């Protein structure tokens, strides 16, 4: 499979112009942004090898982490500019004691076109106990990460013996009103690539959609190796041994491509960020836990909201920063370019 070409053309007349001062949050390539990923912490209850080092991680200073009111302020302005989905992530968002309050405040926001949706990506540890309160607060959708359902592998991969807690969280989510439930796994050679079909069956048994993610160069240890990553085509090949796969059309701007299994209602998704990038339809922007706006997972520059938030800046200053951040977005992530530079932050500190 060859990579999907990025069909964006930078408008020469706009490239060096200032970001527009009104209208939706648009970049120089015409991509309108509707999705803000908010990282609530860089800390985590697991230590997945592809995301964090086992030891020696440099944590963000506690006082630098944005508080509930600061997050709400940025989100309110983003919503007024058309951001309609807020995805809470991290690190592990369930480690935030004020998570219910964050969700409650964000879910009350409105875009010019209507209400916002609150989604969360989580490892599900502690979710079973907390889920009813999160739903009451306004949580609308859940993605749960589970790379293996084998206890010994789980301990090796996450360096923590917590598979039981994750499974309890998945069970609670599958019995809740939050649909569609999505389960995410990073496919890894020699780690879980013999378990992909079992994961799909596990998801089906829990009324969820399994989605496989190609491993990206975002680990804090900088150990990613292209030659070892499991590709979209290899994932599909492995699944085709158990099911007949039919591509589901109409992906829109979604990161995952989907396939129907044996013509049934069940589907599987693949997020092929490396071998089939979907940057051309990207509508996502990110806020790190320490108040940096990032226009791409792989960006090497950030836009610092802290002096505005903590230095008496106005809402107009925040809007201006959001507009400039998105305006400066590059056409694609360039992982496949020889000059690609992995961002200094690991995935846990960016917010996946
Ligand atoms: N702790 C939560 C979780 O694991 O779902 C939320 C944060 S985590 C950084 C968000 C997602 O990023 C997870 O699905 C995780 O598997 C994925 N991820 C982390 N590092 C990755 C990498 N190097 N390549 C691809 N996906 C990665
Ligand atoms: Fe934690 Fe999620 Fe990173 Fe795993 S992928 S270490 S659960 S932040």
Which string of DSSP letters, residue by residue, matches 101-154?
HHHHHHHT-EETTEE-EEEEEE--TTHHHHHHHHHHHT--EEEEE-S-S-HHHH
Q: Which positions ≥6 away from 276 have C-beta within 8 Å?
A: 1, 3, 4, 232, 257
Which CATH number is correct for 24-350, 3.40.50.300, 3.40.50.360, 2.40.50.140, 3.20.20.70?
A: 3.20.20.70
Which ligand lies nearest the alpha carbon of 92? 1
pLDDT given at position 339:
72
pLDDT tens for 130-183 read 999 999 999 999 999 999 999 999 999 999 999 999 999 999 999 999 999 999
The domain segmentation of the chain, as residue ranges, is 24-350
What was the pLDDT predicted at 17?
A: 60
Return the pLDDT at 12. 46
CA 184–ligand 2 middle distance (angstroms): 12
Write the residue with the smallest CA distance to atom 12 of ligand 1. Answer: 352
pLDDT, one tens digit per residue, over 90-125 is: 999 999 999 999 999 999 999 999 999 999 999 999
Ligand 2 neighbour 140 (Cβ under 6 A): no
What's the token pair of residue 328?
């400066």
pTM score: 0.94
CA 48 to CA 191: how far, in whole Å? 12
Quote the pLDDT of residue 1: 35
Counting from 1 in the atom list of ligand 2, the atom nearest the Cα of 51 is: 3
Over residues 64-75, mean pLDDT: 98
pLDDT number for residue 221: 75
pLDDT confidence band for 4 (50 / 70 / 90) = very low
Give the number of other CB atoms < 10 A from CB of residue 100: 17
Residues 6+ apart with CB under 8 A from 170: 124, 144, 146, 183, 206, 208
What gap in Å lies between CA 182 and CA 200, rounded to an integer? Answer: 11
| 350 or 341, greater pLDDT | 350
Residue 309 CA, ligand 1 centroid: distance in Å: 28
What's the rounded Cα separation, in Å, for the pair 104 and 86?
A: 12
Q: Which residue puts its alpha carbon closest to atom 14 of ligand 1?
A: 145
Structure-model confidence comparison of residues 169 and 8, the more confident one: 169
The model's pLDDT over 290-340, given as tens digits with 9 standing for 90+, comes to 999 999 998 888 999 999 999 999 999 999 999 999 999 998 887 777 777
Query: Which pLDDT belongs to residue 5?
Result: 37
Taking the centre of ligand 1 as the mean of its atom positions, its distance from the CA of residue 159, in whole angstroms, is 15
Say yes or no to pLDDT of 64 above 90. Answer: yes
| 92 Cβ below 6 A of ligand 2 | yes
Q: Lowest mean pLDDT: which of 38-47, 58-67, 182-191, 223-232?
A: 223-232
Distance between CA atoms of residues 52 and 193, nearest Å: 20
Query: pLDDT at position 3, please?
Result: 38
Which residue matches tokens 């990207």?
A: 282
Ligand 1 atom 11: the closest Cα is on which residue? Answer: 352
Which residue, judged by its Cα, is nearest atom 17 of ligand 1? 352
Average pLDDT score over the chain: 92
pLDDT tens figures, 213-232: 999 988 877 888 888 899 99
Measured in Å, residue 352 CA sits from the centre of ligand 1 at 5
Contact 94, 57 (CB under 8 A): no
Question: φ and ψ at 107, to 5 degrees?
Answer: -70, -15
User: Which ligand is located closest to the Cα atom of residue 220?
Assistant: 1
C-beta of 91 in contact with ligand 2 (< 6 A): yes
Residues contacting 241, CB < 8 A, separation 6+? 197
What distance in Å separates the CA atoms of residue 52 and residue 91, rounded to the nearest whole number?
A: 9
Nearest-atom number in ligand 1 for the CA of 219 is 23
Band (pLDDT 50/70/90 cuts) for residue 55 is confident
CA-proximal residue: ligand 2, atom 8 (nearest): 91
């Amino acid at each position: 499979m060859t990579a999907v070409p990025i069909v964006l053309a930078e408008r020469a007349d706009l490239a060096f112009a200032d970001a527009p001062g009104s209208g939706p949050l648009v970049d120089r390539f015409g991509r309108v942004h509707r999705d803000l990923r908010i990282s609530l912490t860089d800390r985590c209850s697991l230590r997945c090898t592809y995301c964090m080092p086992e030891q020696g991680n440099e944590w963000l200073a506690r006082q630098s982490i944005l508080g509930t009111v600061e997050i709400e302020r940025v989100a309110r302005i983003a919503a007024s500019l058309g951001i309609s989905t807020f995805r809470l992530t991290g690190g592990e968002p369930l480690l935030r004691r004020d998570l219910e309050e964050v969700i409650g405040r964000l879910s009350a926001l409105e875009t010019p076109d209507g209400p916002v949706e609150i989604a969360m990506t989580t490892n599900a540890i502690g979710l079973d106990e907390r889920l009813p309160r999160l739903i009451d607060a306004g949580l609308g959708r859940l993605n749960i990460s589970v790379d293996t359902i084998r206890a010994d592998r789980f301990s090796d991969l996450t360096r923590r013996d917590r598979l039981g807690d994750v499974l309890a969280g998945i069970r609670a989510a599958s019995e809740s009103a939050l649909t569609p439930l999505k389960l995410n796994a990073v496919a890894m050679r020699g780690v879980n690539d013999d378990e992909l079909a079992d994961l799909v069956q596990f998801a089906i048994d829990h009324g969820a959609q399994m989605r496989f993610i190609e491993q990206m160069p975002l680990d804090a240890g900088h150990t990613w190796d292209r030659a070892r990553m499991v590709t979209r085509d290899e994932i599909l090949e492995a699944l085709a041994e158990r099911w007949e796969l039919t591509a589901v059309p109409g992906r829109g701007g979604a990161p995952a491509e989907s396939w129907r299994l044996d013509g049934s209602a069940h589907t599987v998704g693949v997020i092929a960020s490396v071998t089939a990038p979907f940057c051309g339809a990207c509508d996502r922007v990110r806020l790190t836990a320490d108040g940096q706006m990032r226009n791409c997972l792989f960006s090497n520059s950030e836009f610092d909201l802290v002096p505005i938030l903590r230095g008496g800046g106005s809402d107009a200053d925040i809007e201006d920063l959001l507009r400039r951040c998105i305006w400066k977005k590059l056409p694609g992530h360039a992982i496949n370019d020889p000059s690609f530079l992995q961002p200094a932050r690991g995935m846990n500190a960016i917010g996946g």
